[in-house]
Amino acid sequence: MIRFPLRLAAAAAAAALAAGCSVSDAPDHTTTDTSSGPVADTAPTDLRAEVISTHRMDPDSFTQGLTVVPADTADGDRIRILVSTGLRGASRIYTAWLDGDEIVSADIDDSLFGEGSAVSGPFIWQLTWTSGVVIKRDAHTLAELGRQHIAGEGWGLCYNDATGMLIQSDGSNRLRLRDPHTFADKGLLPPVTDGGAPVDNLNELDCGGEVIWANVWQQPLLVGIDPATGHVIHRVDLSALDPQTGHRDDVANGIARIPHTDRYLVTGKRWGVIYQVRFVPAG
């Protein structure tokens, strides 16, 4: 577990509160303190993904980021998606219509392993895994506009309209706020816990609504996180959607809310398919 200094957490609290978002103002609480004990979270609700429609997708997409691009007036009723993919020598980022037809694609350097991406206004930010490189792109052409460098790993990324902030995962149970123009570090959200236990391996993200959704790496599981407390409040079992490609790395990864609806897109690495779903009570 990476620890962050108090002054950073305090700065994060101030920045996020100014933006209408609550973050922790104290150091990491996830280490068990037997004198007081971690506060147990309320049990999350178990949900399942009810499939509304199924759509083809490039079967080679080792999906690391999935986003519904904010609608352009020319889009009509069509849904435009942004996908960023991984693996060294094969990573790319592309836009496509939900029916599978691609619009624009850009490869990244063979030395980089692509990760999550998000649209913030006229820009796209694309993470890479362990290189510390974050690529800024034009949201329409995907042309590279510049790079920023970050400490730690890049996993998932999403953009939150309500606060105007990006949120980034790094494989731990911590989510970090990022400036949408500069990618500057704006501090941490509260540690993500389920029943008081840390939930590590937070990967692809969606933060378009009031709940932050996160894939948990190597599990067929989406968790819904309360950004104010870090508590997992929903769990969605995706195992019934897994197309079983035969590759152990082809795990569930990819969550994108369709704006102004109760529907989401979900996929996985090299699944070759995107599901449009609605989350409903399990059982």
Instruction: Kindly determine how many residues on this chain lie close enough to bind Ca ion according to the rule CB under 5 A.
Output: 4
Phi, psi of 11 (to 5 degrees): -65, -40
The minimum distance between CB 118 and Ca ion, in angstroms, equals 7
Please list the residues that pair with 252 across neighbouring strands. Answer: 268
What is the C-alpha separation between 190 and 22, in angstroms, rounded?
Answer: 8
* 49 versus 256: smaller Cβ distance to Ca ion: 256
Region of 16 please: left (phi>0), alpha (psi -120 to 50) or beta: alpha
Residue 256 as a binder of Ca ion (CB under 5 A): the answer is yes
The minimum distance between CB 23 and Ca ion, in angstroms, equals 21
H or E segment to which residue 15 belongs = helix 6-18
* 30 versus 203: smaller Cβ distance to Ca ion: 203
User: Taking contact as CB under 5 A, which single stretch among the options 23-31, 39-47, 72-80, 255-263 is the one that binds Ca ion?
Assistant: 255-263
The minimum distance between CB 160 and Ca ion, in angstroms, equals 12
User: Taking contact as CB under 5 A, which single stretch among the options 40-48, 100-108, 140-148, 253-261 is the one that binds Ca ion?
Assistant: 253-261
Per-residue interface string for the shown chain with Ca ion, residues 66-105, x marking contact by CB under 5 A: xx--------------------------------------
The label of the residue with tokens 């200094």 reads 5
Distances (CA, A) of 100 to 195, 253, 278: 39, 18, 20
Contacts of 217 (CB under 8 A, 6+ apart): 155, 171, 201, 202, 203, 251, 253
8-state DSSP, 7: H
Per-residue interface string for the shown chain with Ca ion, residues 48-67, x marking contact by CB under 5 A: ------------------xx
> For residues 184-213, which are near Ca ion according to CB under 5 A?
206
* 9 versus 98: smaller Cβ distance to Ca ion: 98
Residue 170 as a binder of Ca ion (CB under 5 A): the answer is no
Three-class SS state of 211: coil
Please list the residues that pair with 165 across neighbouring strands. Answer: 160
The minimum distance between CB 188 and Ca ion, in angstroms, equals 20
What is the C-alpha separation between 234 and 225, in angstroms, rounded?
Answer: 7
* 24 versus 64: smaller Cβ distance to Ca ion: 64
* 225 versus 256: smaller Cβ distance to Ca ion: 256
* 134 versus 256: smaller Cβ distance to Ca ion: 256
* 110 versus 262: smaller Cβ distance to Ca ion: 262
- The helix/strand count (H/E) of the chain reads as 1, 22
- The residues that touch Ca ion, with contacts defined as CB under 5 A, are 66-67, 206, 256
